[in-house]
Structure 1
Amino acid sequence: MTPRFSVDFNELLESDLVMLSQTDLRKEIDGSLVLLVDGLPIEVQQESLYDDGTHEVLFARGVVEINSTGTWSHVKWCCRFDSEGVYDIAGQ
């Protein structure tokens, strides 16, 4: 099963790259620890519930890659989205 992590899509480093972790180990949504390595296929999501009752689950598939952007040097690992990008899966 593909590991799934919670992320903040406001932490995009590029249009298809989001910050993932400062360390080599990261807990996925179900609490399991995953060793992050370059090229590992993963899923990322951000779940939000708004005051008006709207439920949103932003989701993307991608791969782990080392942060080579030259910014946010404290972040070691990122997720590079596949060609489908980010989309809402709430209500599916």
Structure 2
Amino acid sequence: MKPLIKKREEPFIYNKYYLSAQEKWVRKMEYLTDRLSRRALIYLLFLYAFLQGGYFLYNIYAECSQKNSEINKNPVAISKIKTINFKK
């Protein structure tokens, strides 16, 4: 078990394309947010979290309250047993 949690001697080397994409993303986000105050950034973060939570709750509610799903249309298809033919 000890070799699994041994500290790595050499640092992990990331792919150059990954590092390039990461650097471009950082530059773009810095450009978009450098004009905003800290308070505005926090408000935007809460707004984003609230909207995403509402979206996911809506999806869960819509899926659970579906009245014309396949299960309700054809309940016989669920209880039908399919046999497997084994060749000996």
The two structures have a TM-score, normalised by structure 1, of 0.14
Name the structure with the higher strand share: 1
Bigger-Rg structure (1/2): 2
| RCO comparison, higher one (Cα < 8 Å, 6+) | 1
Name the structure with the higher helix share: 2
